Structure 1
Amino acid sequence: MQRPQYVSDAIETSAAGLHVGSYGPFRLQSAYQPVYELSAGQFDLFGFEGLVRPFREGVALAPVDFFSAVDSGDRLFVECMCRALHLRNYRQGRPRNRKLFINVNPAIYETIEVVEREFRFMFSILDKYGLTPSHLVCEVLETRAMGEATLKSLCDMLREAGCMIALDDYGTGNSGVVRYRALRPNLVKLDGALFRELAGDAARQRLLRRMVDTFHADGVPVLVEGIETRDHLALATDVGAHYFQGYGLGRPALLPAKFETKPAAVSMDTSQASASRTG
């Protein structure tokens, strides 16, 4: 697919002052979904996850359809562009001193030299836009790594720079006990589908509690994804989760959306929540 050589040349600024990416016929925008924390019995805004929203000829596409259209040799370029978009747009209407969650796909980093080059570029964007590595939570996706040693070096480099490391979608793919022990993340994101499955009956809820307790014993907090109903939020709170994310608390929104510092009331029933995931 046709693209420029450098990521910076694939990003332009719209009339509204937002940064928009281009890849072939696709236009990419940043959406942000709020993440809330529970502290001293009160919910508060902890940060946002940056999510790409692709368009083609003005029509929104599902992200999975866009990424399936990306040439295999361009995956690193596109991931780097998505991160650059989220970082550049982050200050547009975002509350200050909140974390930004960004995805890191271990399947595309072949060597530590590639890692160092790409993240030097990322850190240069942080500096330009008045951010620091301490603003970032780098989510290691559940995909298979090109090399586990390279992945560990990547996480060590990010942590030493001041970033938090999150193990994303724990319980799926390669995001399990082995990777958890190898990477020593600062927090674990429990996969939303797994959480909803475990929430289904009392026996599985006990398993969920034991899982969270295991992380707590290591001093690692847990973020539960997929919060869609009041019961989901109550269960996640009851088992000891520290952080919460899901459509029932706040949907991903394109800029210039404003987000509340307190989560929205979770009022959807299960059927409404399931339908909302397709939108």
Structure 2
Amino acid sequence: MTRVGCQGCRDGAPLPFEFTMAFQPIVDVSENRIWGYEALVRGTEGQGAGWVLGQVDDTNRYKFDQACRVKAIELAASLFPDAETRLSINFMPNAVYEPAACIRATLDAARRTGFAHRQIMFEFTENERMLDVAHVQQIIAEYRKHGFVTALDDFGAGYAGLNLLASFQPDLIKLDMELIRGIATSPARQTIIAAVTMMARELGVTVLAEGIESEAELVALRATGIRLFQGYHFAKPAICALPSVRRITAEGLDPTFRQAV
């Protein structure tokens, strides 16, 4: 395997574009609290993720992946309210050549900002075809060695979700929003998600439902035993800030009240 990407991280040349991060809360409804925030890439003038990712190619993919991690940690360290709130960072498995070497920038950023390793969760997506499954297993093993949490994103939407779950058994899986959409009126979706949740529980894997847009979806998903949720029903992402979220009560979300975190 060529090491062009590693050289790209060492050459010191800046990325040909600027970016920042938006944060969207992940809510634990069983404990009525904010569990963490996902860092989502954005342009510095508010451009969406698609605009930023459109600037990424084979010549800067590795440097961009490293820069995203550092930017997310630096911003989270200045914004997060306590040392228990988790930061979820997306990463590109195919952009990591040497797991131990490619994690150094992350470790340096965490050390420099005083951000605890146990607060950091790395998400890899099922939608990115795994070129080398054994290599991804090495990445996850290296991350766990440092105390990071790992998650499989977009579960149920990509190439081989069940095979990936069998191979990696991450700490957490994030159900794809297309699997969730319409669950309130779909017995088939309710059955599938209940089965996935039960299977994950047997494997010791936590389930997170993302893309929640309505109270009906939340109620149907809570009935399957899921406790972690993310989506516009709670809050939209805020650039370089923690967004206001709907108040969490013992009965669920109060749809009429919003409070700043």
TM-score between both structures, scaled by the size of structure 1: 0.80
1:23 maps to which of 15, 18, 34? 15
Unpaired runs of 5+ residues, structure 2, are: 1-7, 257-261
2:55 maps to which of 64, 69, 78? 69
1:88 maps to which of 74, 80, 83? 74
Change (3 A) 1:63 1:8: farther
C-alpha contact (below 8 Å) 2:182/2:217 kept by paired residues: no
Partner Cα separation in structure 2 for residue 199 and residue 106 of structure 1: 34
Partner Cα separation in structure 1 for residue 246 and residue 182 of structure 2: 29
C-alpha contact (below 8 Å) 1:33/1:49 kept by paired residues: yes
Unpaired runs of 5+ residues, structure 1, are: 11-21, 268-279
Partner Cα separation in structure 1 for residue 95 and residue 203 of structure 2: 29
Partner Cα separation in structure 2 for residue 101 and residue 257 of structure 1: 14
Which residue matches 2:65? 79
Shift of the alpha carbon at 1:207?
2.0
Structure 1 residues 143-176: Cα deviation after superposition (integer angstroms, max 9, x where no partner): 1123111100000111121111111110111350
Shift of the alpha carbon at 1:66?
2.4
Which residue matches 1:36? 27
Which residue matches 2:4? none
Partner Cα separation in structure 1 for residue 69 and residue 203 of structure 2: 30
Which residue matches 1:234? 219
The amino acid across from 1:164 in the alignment is V
Give the secondary structure class of the aligned counterpart of 1:91: helix
C-alpha contact (below 8 Å) 2:23/2:243 kept by paired residues: no
Partner Cα separation in structure 2 for residue 262 and residue 240 of structure 1: 21
C-alpha contact (below 8 Å) 2:73/2:109 kept by paired residues: yes
Matched, 1:45 2:34: yes
Partner Cα separation in structure 2 for residue 73 and residue 124 of structure 1: 24
Correspondence 1:114-133 to 2 at 5 A: 115-133=99-117
The amino acid across from 2:110 in the alignment is L
Structure 1 residue runs of 4 or more that deviate by more than 2 Å after TM superposition = 5-10, 197-200, 255-267
Which residue matches 1:210? 195
Give the secondary structure class of the aligned counterpart of 2:32: strand
Shift of the alpha carbon at 1:69?
2.6
Which residue matches 1:276? none
Which residue matches 1:104? 91
Partner Cα separation in structure 2 for residue 7 and residue 63 of structure 1: 25
Q: Percent identity?
A: 26
Give the secondary structure class of the aligned counterpart of 1:206: helix
The amino acid across from 2:62 in the alignment is L
TM-score between both structures, scaled by the size of structure 2: 0.85
Change (3 A) 1:166 1:105: same
The Cα RMSD (Å) is 2.3
Which one scores higher on RCO, CA 8 angstroms, separation ≥ 6?
2
Correspondence 1:139-150 to 2 at 5 A: 139-142=123-126, 143-150=128-135
C-alpha contact (below 8 Å) 1:83/1:102 kept by paired residues: yes
Matched, 1:161 2:146: yes
Structure 1 residues 214-245: Cα deviation after superposition (integer angstroms, max 9, x where no partner): 11122222100011111011111111112000
Which residue matches 1:172? 157
